Chains A and B, each alone.
Chain A
């Protein structure tokens, strides 16, 4: 018989959820305005996915030289669901929530 049975006798979950690209859930996408980003990492701290990653200091322009040595942050759009917590919590309102555009067919 060619029945396909699971390898384990009981359901054991091992596959990382990173295979599931929840970025497709978005209606609004957060866009970081790096001129205002003071590299405080509050957005990274509160992200529920988490879909905010650190990026090297010189990848984006820093608003002032004192901040230039600190790592900056990037949204991982593969997973960001667009909840907007980062935008709401950002102390300098450096993140805009922008309506996702439908892709051209």
Chain B
């Protein structure tokens, strides 16, 4: 006998070609455990387009449509309406895209799909850069990070723009379900996915997925980095159901951001002042989130 805290059935086969310690594979593993076999996936150009391996290999136990980079929102709309036309409204239609294919090149299609209200899941696995093409900066890259297109150098040209908040963009579209999740909290993630499954309409979940290769941390530290992101408020875990915010993991004593940053080579160059700046940004965002939770929970 065994007591598990997450569903046992696997829908992902080993033998895939993900890097050692890949956060995105852990994310996929949990997403499929939550949603089950009656699922069709759409994956654009991103790490997950190559993780299943080379043709004719497959690693997932559900059907998968590989698509062009920017189209996930449109592709899942097409799959959904085709299935509905065939009377198969119960099949889960899931777009599984990286931060590049969601926050940047894919944002138009996502916005269109969200606005049209199709009954779809959009999962953004967020490894905070264009990892598949070699760690170039995305809109989702956090403040101060090194990437290959923000390589620092003499001019200290790192990413000095704040991280684009796609979850909030989705809340602004008034979709019925928005959530953030991360791999260090699988039970929280799976509960969110199962709650989302009960809702009809566009469901958006942003899964924070550390990347040892791009973030320059040991492959054994993936889950630890993910946990620290939550414990330092760098990546708060919350859900928004029909506009009502609920923070699902509230660190009682949030750790200083330094503890999260020092594990990752991509932040190694930061000065004390820059770390202060980042801490302030984190604190401000956390306060804002607390306010949103309070306001949205108020009785009319």
Most buried by A among B20, B26, B221: B20
Q: Which 5 A/B pairs are nearest by Cβ-Cβ distance?
A: A84-B220, A79-B14, A17-B15, A83-B21, A83-B20
- B157 sits at the interface (CB 8 A): no
Contact partner of B57 (CB less than 8 A), chosen from A17, A21, A82, A88, is A17
A18 contacts B5, C-beta separation under 8 Å: no
- B86 sits at the interface (CB 8 A): no
Q: How large is the interface on B (under 10, 10 to 19, 20 to 34, 35 or more residues)?
A: 35 or more
Please give 12 more A-B residue pairs, beta carbons under 8 A apart, in addition to A16-B13, A49-B14, A50-B29: A12-B56, A13-B56, A16-B15, A16-B59, A17-B57, A18-B15, A20-B17, A48-B23, A50-B12, A69-B1, A84-B20, A85-B222
Task: Name the residue on B nearest A78 (C-beta).
Answer: B14
CB 8 Å contact bits of B15-29 with A (1 = contact, 0 = none): 111101111011001
A65 to chain B, nearest CB (A): 15
- In the complex, chain A residues 32-79 whose Cβ is within 8 Å of any chain B Cβ: 39, 41, 44-46, 48-51, 54, 57, 69-71, 76, 78-79
Q: CA of A44 to CA of B22 in the docked complex: distance in angstroms?
A: 15
A35 to chain B, nearest CB (A): 19
A22 to chain B, nearest CB (A): 6
A45 contacts B56, C-beta separation under 8 Å: no
A84 contacts B219, C-beta separation under 8 Å: yes
- B224 sits at the interface (CB 8 A): yes
- A11 sits at the interface (CB 8 A): yes
B42 to chain A, nearest CB (A): 15
Q: Given A48-B22, A88-B220, decide whether A16 and B4 contact each other with a Cβ distance below 8 A.
A: no
B58 contacts A46, C-beta separation under 8 Å: no
Task: Name the residue on A nearest B218 (C-beta).
Answer: A84
A18 contacts B14, C-beta separation under 8 Å: yes
Q: Given A50-B12, A71-B2, decide whether A82 and B20 contact each other with a Cβ distance below 8 A.
A: yes
- A103 sits at the interface (CB 8 A): no
- A94 sits at the interface (CB 8 A): no
Q: CA of A61 to CA of B55 in the docked complex: distance in angstroms?
A: 43
CB 8 Å contact bits of B209-235 with A (1 = contact, 0 = none): 000100000111111100000000000
Interface size on A, residues (CB 8 A): 39
B220 contacts A97, C-beta separation under 8 Å: yes
A51 to chain B, nearest CB (A): 5
B15 contacts A22, C-beta separation under 8 Å: yes
Binding site for A on B (CB under 8 A): 1-6, 10, 12-18, 20-23, 25-26, 29, 52-53, 55-59, 64, 183, 186, 212, 218-224
Residues from chain A with Cβ under 8 Å of B4 in the complex: 41, 44-45
CB 8 Å contact bits of A1-31 with B (1 = contact, 0 = none): 0000000000111111111111001000000
B57 to chain A, nearest CB (A): 5
B1 contacts A71, C-beta separation under 8 Å: yes
Residues from chain B with Cβ under 8 Å of A85 in the complex: 21, 219-220, 222-223
Task: Name the residue on B nearest A82 (C-beta).
Answer: B20
Q: CA of A45 to CA of B20 in the docked complex: distance in angstroms?
A: 16
B5 contacts A49, C-beta separation under 8 Å: no
Most buried by B among A57, A78, A89, A97: A89
Q: CA of A51 to CA of B10 in the docked complex: distance in angstroms?
A: 11
A17 contacts B13, C-beta separation under 8 Å: yes
B2 contacts A70, C-beta separation under 8 Å: yes
B223 contacts A17, C-beta separation under 8 Å: no
Residues from chain B with Cβ under 8 Å of A21 in the complex: 15
Residues from chain B with Cβ under 8 Å of A49 in the complex: 14-16, 25
Residues from chain A with Cβ under 8 Å of B58 in the complex: 13-17
Q: CA of A71 to CA of B2 in the docked complex: distance in angstroms?
A: 6
B15 contacts A79, C-beta separation under 8 Å: yes
Q: Given A13-B52, A83-B219, decide whether A48 and B57 contact each other with a Cβ distance below 8 A.
A: no
